[in-house]
């Protein structure tokens, strides 16, 4: 088995090296280096990397055959001999196919061994399925980043801005990071801790790019035009301009795919609110704050939106627009820095942010629902861990969570009775499978935001 693995890795890496030369001579230097990355994957022990290599080898076969057909058509049109060139490219396709077949045999043999070991240990043996899912996640992230970057008018990948034609390298590295994100979030033992770290990394990347852009390095800005880096202005700005921009479309796509998880995984302001909440002790809100918090963000949503529309309609001066904008930011910062810290809860996100209203409403169009089984023993561990205050005794009695739940899933991972579970509306799936699919999409969306979300 070991010898077969080495032989397969050798032939796969050689053929991918040849494929890298194909892209290099075509002037696609980033893709050429990415193919060398896949060649290195051929020697890796992680099974998901092997599956990724297998997919790329089959793609290479198709690319070589398409190239051979193109050469034949081109030379026929010129009335020149085409047989030898087509034969060489065709043989390259054949050798690549042989390498892919050898790798497939190795993977099938390994999968059979893993299944036998799982059965002998009395386990379900889902390891191969998860490894295939990681490979799909890696390839999907890589292809989506490539597709988006090639079909928008701006160079939205930083690598393309600083090193033209090398954006594929950034796509490769981000897709690799996406697999790591998925692994950490999928493990209930590490989910809560790493969700916050991954979220904070995204926030730091976002604001570091903004800071460098403010210092004069305009390549770190999306379009070179500054706007307020506050989530609420995705909504207010769209109403003021009368048009939805790239970020609004990205948020809409994320919410429809992952529900309200945008608030707990991708909002660059939310992680700051979480940090403020964690610096204080979770405590019970006074009665007056409970009543206010129930309606306050809806008031901000409508009043802020109305102000944006009126400012635009009457053509108010930039000074007045900036005054209202800074007033909102000041109040927002006060809520985050004072109330969230004082009560140990994410008061900005759950009681003030109008973008949360947009996300929670749109989330009703997504299929994800967090439910509570009757096996709940009212230990209240979920309430103690939820910084959004989205779980209450009344909601648990109804088998649901509250409307402003952000699907962070922290409550699921602390429940000793497994009473909290995620489901897809209208589809019968086990809770574990539903959670895996959900986290798969969360990882993909996280990588897309990390690639493209900046001011």
pLDDT digits (tens, 9 = 90+) for 20-73: 999 999 999 999 999 999 999 999 989 999 999 999 999 999 999 999 999 889
Give the per-residue pLDDT at 113: 79
CA distance 400 to 436: 20
Q: Does pLDDT of 267 surpass 70? A: yes
Q: Tell me the mean pLDDT in the region 344-363.
A: 91
- Phi, psi for residue 123 in degrees, rounded to 5: -105, 170
Q: Does pLDDT of 227 surpass 90? A: no
Closest CA to 393 of 372, 408, 410: 372
CA distance 10 to 6: 6
CB-CB contact of 356 with 350 (8 Å): yes
Give the per-residue pLDDT at 119: 61
DSSP state string for 5-70: HHHHHHHHHHHHHHHHHHHHHTT-HHHHHHHHHHHHHTT-S-HHHHHHHHHHHHHHHHHHHHHHHH
Give the per-residue pLDDT at 196: 92
Which range scores top for mean pLDDT: 110-119, 124-133, 346-355?
346-355
CB-CB contact of 412 with 422 (8 Å): yes
Angle made by CA atoms 240, 229, 163, in degrees to the nearest 5: 115
Q: Does pLDDT of 271 surpass 60? A: yes
Give the per-residue pLDDT at 121: 55
Count other C-beta atoms under 10 Å from residue 287's C-beta: 8
In this prediction, residue 294 has a pLDDT band, given cuts at 50, 70 and 90, of: confident
Query: Hey, where are the domains in the chain?
Result: 2-125, 139-226+432-455, 228-249+263-359, 368-424
Give the per-residue pLDDT at 223: 61
Q: Does pLDDT of 286 surpass 60? A: yes
In this prediction, residue 1 has a pLDDT band, given cuts at 50, 70 and 90, of: low
CA atoms within 13 A on the CB side of 174: 28
Q: Does pLDDT of 285 surpass 80? A: no
Q: Does pLDDT of 199 surpass 60? A: yes
Q: Does pLDDT of 225 surpass 60? A: no
Mean pLDDT of the chain: 88
CA distance 166 to 60: 20
Helix (H, G, I), strand (E, B) or coil at 379: coil
Q: Tell me the mean pLDDT in the region 327-355.
A: 90
Q: Tell me the mean pLDDT in the region 401-427.
A: 91
In this prediction, residue 160 has a pLDDT band, given cuts at 50, 70 and 90, of: confident
Among 108-112, 182-186, 413-417, which stretch is predicted with the lowest mean pLDDT? 108-112
Give the per-residue pLDDT at 303: 92
CA distance 442 to 446: 6
Residue with tokens 């409307």: 403
Q: How far are the Cα atoms of 249, 278, 322, 394 from residue 282, in angstroms, in the given order? A: 35, 8, 35, 19
Residue 369, strand partner residues? 423
Q: Tell me the mean pLDDT in the region 173-191.
A: 95
Give the per-residue pLDDT at 93: 95
Closest CA to 19 of 51, 67, 52: 67
Q: Does pLDDT of 158 surpass 90? A: no
Q: Residue 309 is encoded by which pair of tokens?
A: 């529309």
Residue with tokens 């497939």: 104
CA distance 239 to 305: 7
> What sign results for the dihedral spanned by CA atoms 261, 211, 144, 236?
positive
The domain defined by 368-424 folds into Alpha-Beta Plaits (3.30.70)
Q: Tell me the mean pLDDT in the region 398-415.
A: 92
CA distance 83 to 97: 21
């Amino acid at each position: 088995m070991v010898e077969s693995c080495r032989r397969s890795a050798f032939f796969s890496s050689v053929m991918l090296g040849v494929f890298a030369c194909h892209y290099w001579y075509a002037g696609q230097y980033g893709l050429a280096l990415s193919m060398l990355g896949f060649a290195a994957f051929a020697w890796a022990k992680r099974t998901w990397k092997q599956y990724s290599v297998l997919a790329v080898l089959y793609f290479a076969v198709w690319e070589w055959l398409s190239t051979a057909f193109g050469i034949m058509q081109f030379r026929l049109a010129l009335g020149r001999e085409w047989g030898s060139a087509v034969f060489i490219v065709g043989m390259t396709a054949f050798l690549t196919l042989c390498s892919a077949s050898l790798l497939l045999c190795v993977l099938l043999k390994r999968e059979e061994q893993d299944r036998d070991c799982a059965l002998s240990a009395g386990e379900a043996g889902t390891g191969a399925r998860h490894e295939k899912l990681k490979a799909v996640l890696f390839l999907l992230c890589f292809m989506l980043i490539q597709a988006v970057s090639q079909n928008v008018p701006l160079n939205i990948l930083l690598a393309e801005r600083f090193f033209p034609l090398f954006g594929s390298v950034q796509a490769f590295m981000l897709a690799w990071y996406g697999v790591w994100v998925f692994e950490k979030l999928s493990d209930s033992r590490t989910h809560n801790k790493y969700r916050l770290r991954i979220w904070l990394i995204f926030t730091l990347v976002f604001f570091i790019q903004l800071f460098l852009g403010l210092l004069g390095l305009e390549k770190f800005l999306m379009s070179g035009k500054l706007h307020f880096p506050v989530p609420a202005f995705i909504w207010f700005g769209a109403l003021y301009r009368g048009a939805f921009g790239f970020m609004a479309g990205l948020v809409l796509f994320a919410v429809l795919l992952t529900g309200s998880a945008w608030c707990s995984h991708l909002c660059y302001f939310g992680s700051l609110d979480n940090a403020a909440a964690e610096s204080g002790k979770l405590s019970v809100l006074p009665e007056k704050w409970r009543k206010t918090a129930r309606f306050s963000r809806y008031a901000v949503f409508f009043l802020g939106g109305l102000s944006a529309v009126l400012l635009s309609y009457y053509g108010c001066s930039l000074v007045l627009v900036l005054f209202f904008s800074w007033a909102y930011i000041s109040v927002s910062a006060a809520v985050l820095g004072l109330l969230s810290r004082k009560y140990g809860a994410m008061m900005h996100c759950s009681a003030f942010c109008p973008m949360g209203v947009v996300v929670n409403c749109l989330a009703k169009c997504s299929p994800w629902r967090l439910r509570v089984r009757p096996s709940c023993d009212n230990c209240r561990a979920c309430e103690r861990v939820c910084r959004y205050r989205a779980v209450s005794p009344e909601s648990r009695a109804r088998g649901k969570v509250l409307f402003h739940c952000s699907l962070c899933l922290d409550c699921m991972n602390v429940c000793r009775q497994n009473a909290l579970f995620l489901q897809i509306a209208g589809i019968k799936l086990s809770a574990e499978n539903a959670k895996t699919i959900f986290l798969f999409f969360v990882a993909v969306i996280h990588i897309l935001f990390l690639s493209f979300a900046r001011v």
